[in-house]
Amino acid sequence: MTTARLASRLVGGLLLAAPALAAQSSVVVDPAGPVRTVSEALGRVTPGGRITIRAGVYTEPVIRVAIPVTIIGDSGAVFTGGDHEIFLVTADNVTLRGLTLRGGEHSFMEDRAAVRFDSVANCVIEDSRLEGTFFGIYLARSRGCRVSRNVVRGSAAVEMTSGNAIHLFHSSDITIDGNRVAGHRDGIYLEFAERARVFDNESTDNLRYGLHFMFSHECEYGNNRFERNGAGVAVMYTRHVYMHGNTFGDNWGPSAYGLLLKEIRDSRIIGNIFRQNTVGIYLEGSARNEVLGNTFEGNGWAVRVLANAEGNTFAGNTFRRNAFDVATNSRSNVSTFRENYWDRYEGYDLDRDGYGDVPYHPVRLFSLLVAQNEPALILLRSFFVDMLDAAERVMPVLTPQLLQDERPLMREPA
Amino acid sequence: MTTTDTTAPAVEFRALSKRFGRLTALDAVDVRVARGRVTALVGPNGAGKSTLIKCLLGLVRPDEGEVVLDGTALDGGWEYRGGIGYMPQAPRFPDNLTGRELVEMLRDLRRGLAPADVELLEWFGASGALDRPVRVLSGGTRQKLNAAIAFLFRPHLLILDEPTAGLDPLASGVLKDKIRTVRDAGATVLLSSHLMAELEELAEDLVFLVDGTVRYAGHLAGLKERTGEPSLERAMAAVLRRGHA
Amino acid sequence: MRTATRVLKYELHNVLRSKAVLVYTVLLFLLTDVLFRFGGDGARVVISLLNVVLLLVPLVSVVFGTMYVYAAREFTELLLAQPVSRGSLFAGLYLGLALPLAGAFLAGVGLPFAIHARPDAALWGPLAMLLTAGLLLTLVFTAVAMLLATRFDDRAKGLGGAILIWVACAVLYDGLILLLITMLRNYPLERPVLALTLLNPIDLGRVLLLLQFDTAALMGYTGAVFEKFFGTSTGRMAVLGVLLVQATVPLLLASRVFRRKDF
């Protein structure tokens, strides 16, 4: 008998105060018995074994998973929480699959999660449903784990009393894919999470951010949808981010952004769609980022660049039906716009090389007026304002002349 | 419709006054228009003839006085106009309607009470013009249409403003015949014209307006007698010179 | 009312045959059609049509309307000599003017959409709002035309007034609002500006369309007033309601003048 097994049996035995039985590689938990709780099953299963949960509603104290094990719920296997976490995983190589976790009171004292992985490696949680939990899936100090195809639905109404759906803290090489999260404070939250791969997720209708990360370098985000989140997506204090093929949509509000970049450096944002956001991309203190081949459609402001953002490149993007294409608070410009398609461009292409022969100035006089006098926004699309803009184009006085696209595309890039 | 008091004058203007700003168009006008006769309404330009007619039609609201029709004072109602045929001076019909549509429209507005009197159109030989848009009709043909419309609904009171203006002599004659015919049938006719010969030919009575006041009202022949002038034209000139009849 | 519908029937006959209305319809049709051929998708065409609707529709409505009422002046007198009430004649005249213009607008803009636009649920909202705005602006500015042409016997005055009102609503008004906002930038101006916007029918039409296309931008405004107003369907209903009031008020005034007028 290994020490681990002995320990687990001891733990199980202590918890259940039940006689120790012979360890099995496969244990079935069933409301009708003989094994009625997961905690009991954990005391009986061999490390690396499997626990199968039959349909039923289970209400247990914190289920502490301290041995490598695979726990699989049959359809209808439901765990309810309360004033404590449901699963606390502290062993490597633990897999949770097909579970339904329901309920969990909010706490001001701790980030109480339905499932917490703490200081583990190679953990998996997949194909599970979390409904109305405070924090959903929480990984702390873990590495090489995978969070796949889970549905995490909250019913958050107030930021103060809501938690995040998927939360990573000081973790590395985590894969988050195919999840659908909604109704939390933040949909996906990463803090000090490096080399995470976030793919094919849907994060919608969260109170604050669909995706929120800081100090999480070298992460990749692909083909996710972030929609109708209170403040959109905000990412901060991070280097070497790669975002591609994501959709940022319908994030409305005075401080809502399709994508807010704060102190983001050396990152690539490629082939994403920004649709119907109050602000498509917002850059603050961010440098040397490449924004390539994205589509900005129907946003209030497609791109907002603050003066302290330097050396960013916008190329090959499509700008369609935005109220404002680019806004900035600076007369000088330190970002580069080239070879984008602008639906407002009225220039010509005499040499037929596909690029307009006169530069496009994406900053309108009206956007400066609105920046200084917000109520002027009500005059959007008015004939008078169009005349002002036309006059400014002919004789520029106020708009930054350096901010221009020298070679605007005549047609939308394929 | 009000009951007709056949003993009363067809139309009676009682102390009728109307001012347009500083201009006095009618100044306490008292006139009776006899039933079943043709009354000429004459006077220099701006004498108030049109205003008087418009008061009768309800197009202009008098400041003071009243218009009494068949013994009943007008009170702002509109039904009484069913008995009136009006031929305005130089009308403009909607360009794109045909004469026939125009006639149908007016008949519609009168709810088709009586079968229309299209005799005049036939006399004019203008029936063929009915199917063309008004805009392509000649001035004379339009005037024929205008006249026909006035007689269309067998009115017992006809108000004709310069009826023969723009008509060729032949059509003029036809119209005069029609006026006599309806007069003989008992209709009252109020006729405004600058053609003295025409008035002498048609009218029995005469109302002479100058500057909004009545200078003469009575038998047409009486005016000539009183002034001792041989022609109506000279008689009127004499009235103007003397300031009264 | 029966008299009004009888008058209306023949007014419709007349106006629908007028070249001006035909030209107006064809112009709108060609414009929309060309936008489809060059611009592509329906939503973009709606946006391109925004300023056409906001400028051309009021201009045609108020100028053609005023000229039309003046041209019908003598005939109106002839009709008033018939046994009809002034009220019903007025109603017939107004509808006989407004309905053909509204119809011309709906046909001129709507037909190209029926021909070119792919059935796309996302397009119905903006298109419906474009047509509604154009329709209401037609009603408002024909009502203004009725008032001008009834109030002023001098045609030059009436026509001058029509053009003046159009220039004021289409251009000057927004300039004044902008000036006001810039000059008084230290004061909370949201409510006054919102109120000022509600006074100008062309601005209201524009706001209706903004609510379709630019909610994203409007919601970015930190002053809570716009957001509260625009964020609700109540706001949209209010805008539609105010436009109806703006058609009704000049119409009632015109009707009052018409009833008391000496012709």
> Domains, chain A, ranges and CATH?
28-227 (2.160.20.10), 231-346 (no CATH), 364-398 (no CATH)
Q: Is the pLDDT of residue A2 over 60?
A: no
Task: Answer yes or no: are the C-beta atoms of C198 and C208 closer than 8 Å.
Answer: no
Percentages helix, strand, coil for chain B, rounded to the nearest 5?
Answer: 40, 25, 35
Tell me the chain A residues in contact with residue C219 when contact means C-beta distances shorter than 8 Å.
252-254, 256, 278, 300
Residue A412 C-alpha from the chain's centroid? 28
Instruction: Find the angle CA(A231)-CA(A236)-CA(A240) to the nearest 5 degrees.
Output: 125
All partners of chain B with 3 or more CB pairs under 8 angstroms? C
- What is the model's pLDDT at position B231? 84
Interface test with C, best of B2, B60, B96, B154 (most C CBs within 10 A): B96
* Cβ separation C263–B59 shorter than 8 A: yes
Identity of the residue in C6, C80, C83 whose CB atom sits nearest the CB atom of B59: C80
Predicted pLDDT of residue C20:
87
Q: CB distance from C14 to chain B under 8 Å?
A: yes
* Euclidean distance between CA atoms A163 and A208, whole angstroms: 10
Residue A282 and residue B8: Cα distance in Å, rounded?
A: 91
What per-residue confidence (pLDDT) applies to B125? 78
Average pLDDT value over all residues in chain C = 87
pLDDT in tens, A283-330: 999 999 999 999 999 899 999 998 888 899 999 999 998 989 999 887
Residue A321 is nearest to which of C44, C55, C207, comparing CB atoms?
C44
Q: What is the pLDDT of residue A390?
A: 85
- Closest-CA residue of A relative to C170 is A383
Cβ neighbours of B241 (radius 10 Å): 8
Scanning C212-251 for CB atoms below 8 A from A yields: 213-223, 226-227
**pLDDT given at position B93:** 86
Chain B contact for C72 (CB, 8 A cutoff): yes
Would you say residue C230 has pLDDT above 90? no
Q: Which of C55, C197, C220 sits opposite A300 (nearest CB)?
A: C220
Higher pLDDT, A280 or B73: A280
Strand pairing report for A313-315 and A290-292: parallel
- Nearest residue to C129 (alpha-carbon basis) of C54, C219, C72: C54
Interchain contact, C216 vs A381, CB within 8 Å: no
- Using a CB–CB cutoff of 8 Å, tell me whether C203 touches chain A: yes
What digits encode the pLDDT tens for the residues A191-234?
999 999 999 999 999 999 999 999 999 999 999 999 999 889 99
How would residue A17 be classed by pLDDT, with cut points 50, 70 and 90? very low
pTM: 0.82
Q: Does A386 touch chain C (CB under 8 A)?
A: yes
Q: Is B114 on the interface with C (CB under 8 A)?
A: no
For residues A72-95, average pLDDT: 93
Of A300, A381, A387, the CB nearest to C216: A300
pLDDT digits (tens, 9 = 90+) for A121-173: 999 999 999 998 899 999 999 999 999 999 999 887 777 778 999 999 999 99
| Distance in Å, alpha carbon of A372 to nearest chain C alpha carbon | 8
Distance from CA of B99 to the nearest CA of C (A): 12
- Reduce the DSSP state of residue B42 to 3 states and report it: strand
- For the record, the structure tokens of B5 come out as 């008091």
What is the rounded distance in angstroms from the CA atom of residue B6 to the CA atom of residue A208? 90
Enclosing H/E stretch for B111: none
Tokens for A208, please give them.
């604050």
CB contact under 8 A, B88 and C83: no
Task: Show the low-confidence residues of chain B (pLDDT under 70).
Answer: 1-7, 112-114, 243-245
In the numeric block, which tokens belong to residue C174?
Answer: 């927004």
Q: In 3D, which of A136, A131, A129 has the Cα closest to residue A75?
A: A129
Query: In this predicted structure, which of A63-77, B44-58, B112-126, C93-107 has the lowest mean pLDDT?
Result: B112-126
**Listed range (A180-194, A360-374, C168-182) with the worst mean pLDDT:** A360-374
Query: Nearest-CA neighbor of A313 among A297, A284, A334?
Result: A334
What's residue A184's pLDDT?
A: 94
Tell me which residue in B102, B105, B110 faces C83 most closely, judged by beta carbons.
Answer: B110
List for chain C the helix, strand, coil content (%; round to 5).
85, 0, 15
Q: How is chain A split among helix, strand and coil, in percent rounded to 5?
A: 10, 40, 50
Write out pLDDT tens, residues A351-381.
999 999 999 989 888 888 888 888 888 888 8
Residue A160: is it exposed, middle or buried by C-beta count within 10 angstroms (0-12/13-18/19+)? exposed
User: Beta-carbon neighbour count of residue B170 at 10 Å?
Assistant: 10
Where residue A50 falls among pLDDT bands split at 50, 70, 90?
very high
pLDDT band (50, 70, 90) for residue A16: very low
Query: B214-237: per-residue pLDDT in tens?
Result: 888 888 888 888 888 888 888 888
Distances (CA, A) of A339 to A102, A312, A408, B146, C225: 51, 14, 5, 72, 39
Which residues in chain C have Cβ-Cβ distances shorter than 8 Å to A376?
177-178, 181-182
The gap from C-alpha C262 to its chain's centroid, in whole angstroms, comes to 29
- For residue A108, is pLDDT > 80? no
Do C165 and C133 touch, CB atoms closer than 8 A? no
What ipTM score was computed for the predicted complex, to two decimals? 0.86
Model confidence at C256, in pLDDT bands (50, 70, 90)? very high
Contact C81 B78 (CB under 8 A): no
* Mean pLDDT value of segment A256-282: 95
pLDDT at residue A237, rounded to an integer: 95
Q: Please give the sequence-ordered ranges of beta strands (E in DSSP) within A272-391, or none if there are none.
A: 273-275, 279-284, 290-292, 295-297, 301-305, 313-315, 318-320, 324-328, 336-338, 341-342
Q: Considering chain A, what percentage of its residues have pLDDT values greater than 90?
A: 67
Distance, CA of C203 to CA of A377 (rounded, Å): 12
- Higher-pLDDT residue of A248 and A396 is A248
